[in-house]
Structure 1
Amino acid sequence: MKKLESSLLNMVLVLTGVAVVMGGILAFVNHLTEGPIADQKAKALADGIKTVMCVDNLQVSQTDTVKQADAKGKELTYIIYQTKDAQGNDLGAAVESTTGGFGGDLKVLVGFDADGKILGYTLLEHAETPGLGAKADKWFQKGAKGDIIGQTPAEPLTVSKDGGKVDAITASTITSRAFLLAVNNAYNAYKATPVDAETGATKQEKEE
């Protein structure tokens, strides 16, 4: 077999060929893993909803997407999972809320009862410093130092350093502020979601 001449054109052709083959392999692997990853995320979300609503046997009766502007005018998106128990009674809702933390986006899932009282929460995504900001998944839980469970954020929850009543995570005030902002925003989105008595659908969805 004749050896390819070492030239710029041949090198470009070889590199292009390698890039095409590698791209094809990556696309194939991505296709194979796309389904399992989506299933894993769906299961994690379903488990998260049960955790924050403190009920194992529940169903998501309605999913609403609400867009609201924050204090700086940036439009934020909230996903509200209306829930019912096995008997069809309203339990309240689990709300996805995202804010910017110290290391990146902080996505929280918060459970509220029908009156807006916090039932529970879980962190869905975060990029906070391990051992510091990452403590948010435990710091604000029931019985912990920054316990917010059972509170209603009609009056926004704030850290004690800012005149509020919630103890911030040690050495992680920025993360604590971001977390509480996510919870406050989730509450506001939940309470601002008008429900049609006949269908259970939000008026926003009906208009769309």
Structure 2
Amino acid sequence: MAGKKESTFINMVLVLFIITLISGVALGGFYELTKEPIAAAKLAKKLNAIKEVVPEFNNNPSDEVYKVGINATDTLEFYPAKMDNKLVGTAVKTFTNKGFAGYIWVMVGFLPDGTINNYSILDHKETPGLGSKMGAWFKQTDPAKEKSSVINKNPGKTKFIVSKDGGDIDAITAATISSRAFMDAIQTGYNEYIKNKTKEDISHE
């Protein structure tokens, strides 16, 4: 009887091992099958964001990308956009960790003088209907809401702080924390863009 129980136990362990092995192989295979499409989708999203935020270009900004580490884990990415080898703008993948729900990643396009051409929200977890409005809020075209827009404004000449805090940009209604975070991401991107653009200008003199 004891031998039968031992045999049954061994069989159960063996069956569980086989099931675990098969599941592991299946998951590994699924990951390999989906890895490239996921990477391709992320790349396509990034390229579309670059096209959205800078003037028309005919180079491949990804071929000329350079990166700047901000802290131990996070990096800004700079994508120079050129028309016939002349810089027309730079798309900067920037971020803030000051959002209401954590990180916010933004692709912002700067003209050579630092003026904002456009921006695109890449990733966030802000509250739907409130902080999530930042994708459109700061692109206001209504003259009555001009203070809510960052388009065609230069963070070096405009106080990129919400007006509630003494700045020049009106925050999203009922989403001040998200608005402050958005401004922080833009300002971080601008500061590093100007700093590194100055280095490039000096190196080419």
- Normalised by the length of structure 2, the TM-score is 0.83
**Which 4+ stretches in 1 moved above 2 angstroms?**
2-7, 9-20, 54-59
Q: 1:149-169: per-residue Cα shift (whole Å, max 9, x none)? A: 111111540001111111111
Give 1:17 shift.
2.9
Matched residue type, 1:89: K
Q: What are the residue-to-residue correspondences of 1:51-200 with 2, within 5 Å?
A: 51-55=52-56, 57-60=58-61, 62-68=64-70, 76-85=74-83, 87-100=84-97, 101-143=99-141, 145=145, 146-154=148-156, 156-193=159-196, 194-195=199-200, 196-197=203-204
Q: 3-state SS of the aligned residue for 1:24?
A: helix
Task: Report the structure number with the largest CA radius of gyration.
Answer: 2
Q: What are the residue-to-residue correspondences of 1:44-55 with 2, within 5 Å?
A: 44-55=45-56
Quote the residue 2:25 is aligned against: 24
Matched residue type, 1:187: Y
Give 1:54 shift.
3.6
| Structure 1 residues 3 and 156, CA gap change in structure 2 (3 angstroms) | farther
Give 1:68 shift.
3.2
CA distance in 2, matches of 1:139, 1:175: 11
Contact 1:97 1:186 in 2 (8 A): yes
**Structure with the larger helix share:** 2
Moved more, 98-107 or 58-67: 58-67
| Structure 1 residues 91 and 56, CA gap change in structure 2 (3 angstroms) | closer
CA distance in 2, matches of 1:17, 1:141: 56
| Aligned CA-pair RMSD | 2.4
Q: 3-state SS of the aligned residue for 2:121?
A: strand
Q: 1:75-123: per-residue Cα shift (whole Å, max 9, x none)? A: 74211111101x2211121101111211121000000011000000001
Matched residue type, 2:92: V
Give 1:124 shift.
0.7
CA distance in 1, matches of 2:175, 2:20: 44
Q: Percent identity?
A: 39
Give 1:24 shift.
1.3
Matched residue type, 2:188: N
Q: 3-state SS of the aligned residue for 2:189?
A: helix
Structure 2's unaligned 5+ residue stretches are: none
CA distance in 2, matches of 1:143, 1:164: 20
Q: 3-state SS of the aligned residue for 2:64?
A: strand
Contact 2:159 2:168 in 1 (8 A): no
CA distance in 2, matches of 1:163, 1:115: 25
